[in-house]
Chains A and B, each alone.
Chain A
Amino acid sequence: MNELEKWKEKIESGNLSEDEEMILEEMGLSGSSRRKFLKQISAASLSVWASSYFTSDLFAQTMEDLPVNPNILQNEITVNLRVNNMVKPLTLDSRVTLLDALREKIALTGTKKGCDHGQCGACTVMIDGKRKLSCLTLAATCEDKEITTVEGLASEGKLHPMQQAFLKHDGFQCGYCTPGQICSSVALLEEAKNGEASYVTEDLRKTEKNLKLSEEEIRERMSGNICRCGAYNNIVQAFKEVHSGDDEMPTWEFATEEEMKEAGKA
């Protein structure tokens, strides 16, 4: 039985664990839409759409089902990787970065590899609440650390407000830098609360908590996450909405008939 069939059966029989329920909710699939969704998926498309939904790796408890690395490793290290409130004991080559451990060893592919050299921010995760780059962090150094990835932001079947805002303000296009942008934004909310400064902060000697960040401040502080699609303005809007409730929408408009007539005059 393939992965999808397993899921079909589970859903049909209503035999879902709490985590599984949660994830299906999170995908906007509740009640009858679940069945419908599964029905709609044709055989040919199984591996395309279905796998993006239904790979076992999305589910916490199945992390342990992942195959034990069969390889002989040089300089083996062991680390209990604590990710999104789950713990996975891993035996790894000492060279494995946190990024590769997440993506290649425990199939949490939400964290992206954009450059592998700390020059793009796509791999941003939160380690003990601080945004950091998983590509320059060795997995070996993560024992006892609390790691939060994009997969861990939604809770109880509800998207994190930042995820919601990115959706609403179209704070992405291809989506590849998005997990990093969102993790970075969530961490930045805390940094602003803590009164942390930036290079564009007017007076560094003035320290206060609960900062309301200006647009320039947001842009500077989000400059560690490159978006090649160029969704920066929408990312700023999304952040603003969660940070300060400023619900300004992107500034697009259609020219009016009158403007068209006026402009068309010889």
Chain B
Amino acid sequence: MNKSGVGQAIDRVEGHLKVTGKAKYASEFPVENKVYAQGINSTVAKGTITSIDTSEAEKIEGVLEIITYKNAEKLKNFEEDMVAIATDTIAPVLQSNKVHYYGEYVGLVVAETFEQAQHAARLVKFEYSEDRDPAIHFDKLRSKAYKPNEKSDYSRGDIEKGLAEADEVIDETYNTPIEHHHPMELHAVIASWDNGKVTAYASQQMVDDATIAISETFQIPKKDVRVVSAFVGGGFGSKLNVERHVTLAVMAAKMVGRPVQMTVTRTQMFTNTGLRQHNEQHMRIGAKKDGTLTALGHDTLSHTSANLEFQEACGMVSKMLYNVPNNKVTHRLIPMNIQTPFAMRAPGEATGSYALECAMDEMAYKLKMDPIEFRIKNDTQTDLSKDQPFSSRLLVECLRIGAKKFGWENRKMEPGTNQDGNWLIGYGVSAASRNAPYQETHSKVILDMEGDEVSATIQMDATDIGTGSYTIIAQTASEYLGIPVEQITVELGDSDFPVTPGSGGSWGAASYCNGARAACENAVSELKKKQNISEDDEVSIAELLKRNDLSKYVAEGSAEPSEEFENHSVFSFGANFSEVWVDKDTGMWKIKRMVNVGSAGKILNPKTAYGQIIGGLTMGAGMAIAEQTKVEPNFGNFITRSFADYHVPVNLDLANIDVIFLPEEDKIANKMGIKGIGELGITSVAASIGNAIFNATGKRMRDLPITPEKLIMAKAEV
């Protein structure tokens, strides 16, 4: 057996570099002669810059350049407002005197040292003609909501008819607040120009799209842009696209003729690197007394920026998760003077599942049904929204196996009846589903023979954002070349390498590994062909090189979705169980333990897959605990502007987590049977916690996060 092949729980192959501090993140590359840039942010939510005074800043020793819209390079700009942004969208900046939101970049200082740049940036004085009525109040702007596109709405059957037929109806609204990704590594870039070519060491999840965005923004050929993201200190969606600090650094490097390093501050991470928008989700569920769903409506109202569009599809889960004949899903957006939102881990599912899975729990309680049985009763093996089968769907197994592991039978149906001292104990469950996409991927393998030993190098422009890409790609190569990972080097994160879709949307593992597999398979089969060896003959890679009299061999390969994949709905499924202890008086609560069951195709490495799941659970717990970004009602800025205001979970917030993987290889999904796991973990976690809090206290907490201040003021509903 291959001890380091696919499915083995090996240690991360890049782990050594990480535990010794030697892994190099974007701002750590030893680029000589570099200078430092500091962005300046607008202090109004909407308005026009009327004057700029750079005189004080210019006096500061070491200042090399101050860039504002007045002297910025002309870049490709959006030709119209409300363009829907994608991962390769241009990132123009400082192109006009208009301000669209509080914190938008209005300038940049470049100086010899970090300290000088930071200081001087404070001294540039902007005056604005301020719009007195910026669009910053979500509640007052409902009439401005618009339908982004035809796909924003979906309907099957007749929702009103379904509700009329129901014995019980749930009609409630759930709110998830603005959230921020906040990877630990601040977005950073070192940009330089050399003979008209750009090199950017940048913290990006999708290298190829980054080169596209930079080249289009600066109107230079794509081949003249090199992006390097060897290590990415977390992304969670915020590093999918090129944010404007990259443009600023590239522009500045051109102007000063030296490499420019720019690190976004933690406060700027709130205003300049994307966000998950506030979603107000109106849920209507109808069910018969026996638990049969008759109707499911999911209407989402959220916001985008004043000039660009991004829509998170909260209602996606409601279209496909349950067997309900009458279904209506809508999405509306309000343009606001707030930064353009962008995808954050499981966009749509993480938030949509809070509304759906809490509403399902409410209905189960109303029906006096066990919430697990209620879900199982409404299971479906067909994706009704597409009228096509799921490639595989083991949701029922997830729920049942999880229930057993968790000890669900000890749950008390009546809230508030399980108490231990000052603690009220609650159990909660929720179902999870997350789209498992898969995209065209290319890779290269370089075989090298020394003595009898073959070593291999895999190259792809894929990234490892903590997801374990280095490791699972090495394991794939090990599997398909038949050599241990110690003899394999994986090189990622360089746009000079073969193109992959990058890390995002849970497609990384399936795409990268199938891509690497293809190159390795090609290497083997090409070497066999040259010597007329049958494909079925088992010959070691060393022997193949030997017979070909080669000490080096390079092969390329690519993988892409099959027709079968296109004809199926490919999703990962899961179930979350939480035991939560709520203090009966103080509003404080804690997670006691969690169980997660995941059906995510072939598990390439249970160790790193476990990491993805507990990581998702932690971020999901964060949604329930305290994460929220608040908009200041008089100024339009974010009042939560640091890690001291925006509380992500700490170690003590978490507790024991049992993770169960279902043994599964979804060959419809792709040849290796892999489905995504990076976003499955966060999906519906907050709902399982919210449902547990209800079970503990009888309080329905429909607005995240569930802070002590809210909980202490909430009234029990039973």
Interface pair A174/B183, CB less than 8 Å apart: yes
- Asked whether any CB of chain B lies closer than 8 Å to the CB of A55, the reply is yes
Bound together, the chains give a CA A28 to CA B20 distance in angstroms of: 12
Interface string of A85-112 (1 = CB under 8 A from B): 0000000010110001001100111111
Q: Which residues of B contact A229 (CB under 8 A)?
A: 184, 234, 466, 611, 615, 618
Interface string of B656-670 (1 = CB under 8 A from A): 111111110000000
Interface pair A255/B397, CB less than 8 Å apart: yes
Interface string of A105-123 (1 = CB under 8 A from B): 0011111111111011010
Most buried by A among B61, B231, B491: B491
- Do A178 and B22 contact each other (CB < 8 Å), given the known contacts A173-B466, A233-B657? no
Interface string of B229-240 (1 = CB under 8 A from A): 011111110000
Interface pair B233/A264, CB less than 8 Å apart: no
Binds A, one of B164-172, B311-319, B644-652: B644-652
Bound together, the chains give a CA A235 to CA B232 distance in angstroms of: 20
Interface pair A251/B468, CB less than 8 Å apart: no
Query: Which of B61, B394, B450, B658 contacts A74 (CB under 8 A)?
Result: B61
- Count A interface residues, CB 8 Å: 102
Q: How far is the CB of B568 from chain A (nearest CB, A)?
A: 20
Q: Which residues of A contact B232 (CB under 8 A)?
A: 174
Interface pair B22/A173, CB less than 8 Å apart: no
Q: Which residues of B contact A113 (CB under 8 A)?
A: 27, 186, 263
Query: Which of A96, A149, A172, A264 contacts B19 (CB under 8 A)?
Result: A172
Query: Which of B11, B12, B394, B651 contacts A236 (CB under 8 A)?
Result: B651
Q: How large is the interface on B (under 10, 10 to 19, 20 to 34, 35 or more residues)?
A: 35 or more
Interface string of A146-162 (1 = CB under 8 A from B): 00011101100001000
- Asked whether any CB of chain B lies closer than 8 Å to the CB of A42, the reply is yes
- Do A252 and B606 contact each other (CB < 8 Å), given the known contacts A93-B115, A117-B644, A263-B401? yes
- Asked whether any CB of chain B lies closer than 8 Å to the CB of A45, the reply is yes
Q: Which residues of B contact A228 (CB under 8 A)?
A: 182-184, 234, 236, 619, 648
- Asked whether any CB of chain B lies closer than 8 Å to the CB of A182, the reply is yes
Interface string of A229-260 (1 = CB under 8 A from B): 11111111000000000000011111101011
Binds B, one of A10-18, A205-213, A218-226: A218-226
- Do A172 and B266 contact each other (CB < 8 Å), given the known contacts A122-B184, A232-B618, A260-B662? no
Interface pair B651/A222, CB less than 8 Å apart: yes
- Do A230 and B614 contact each other (CB < 8 Å), given the known contacts A45-B491, A167-B12? yes
- Asked whether any CB of chain A lies closer than 8 Å to the CB of B421, the reply is no
Q: Which residues of A contact B236 (CB under 8 A)?
A: 228
- Do A49 and B228 contact each other (CB < 8 Å), given the known contacts A93-B115, A111-B21, A223-B650? no
- Asked whether any CB of chain B lies closer than 8 Å to the CB of A177, the reply is yes
Interface pair A175/B660, CB less than 8 Å apart: no
- Asked whether any CB of chain A lies closer than 8 Å to the CB of B23, the reply is yes
Bound together, the chains give a CA A48 to CA B612 distance in angstroms of: 25
Query: Which of B19, B266, B455 contacts A167 (CB under 8 A)?
Result: B19
Interface string of B581-621 (1 = CB under 8 A from A): 00000000000000001000001001111111111111100
Q: Given A45-B459, A52-B23, A174-B185, 17 more contacts at CB 8 Å?
A: A40-B457, A41-B491, A52-B24, A53-B22, A71-B62, A71-B112, A73-B61, A109-B21, A110-B20, A167-B12, A167-B16, A223-B651, A223-B652, A231-B614, A235-B651, A252-B610, A255-B597
A residues bordering B, Cβ < 8 Å?
Answer: 26-28, 32-33, 35-37, 39-42, 44-45, 47-49, 51-53, 55-58, 70-74, 93, 95-96, 100, 103-104, 107-117, 119-120, 122, 149-151, 153-154, 159, 163-164, 166-168, 170, 172-179, 182, 200, 216, 218-220, 222-236, 250-255, 257, 259-260, 262-264
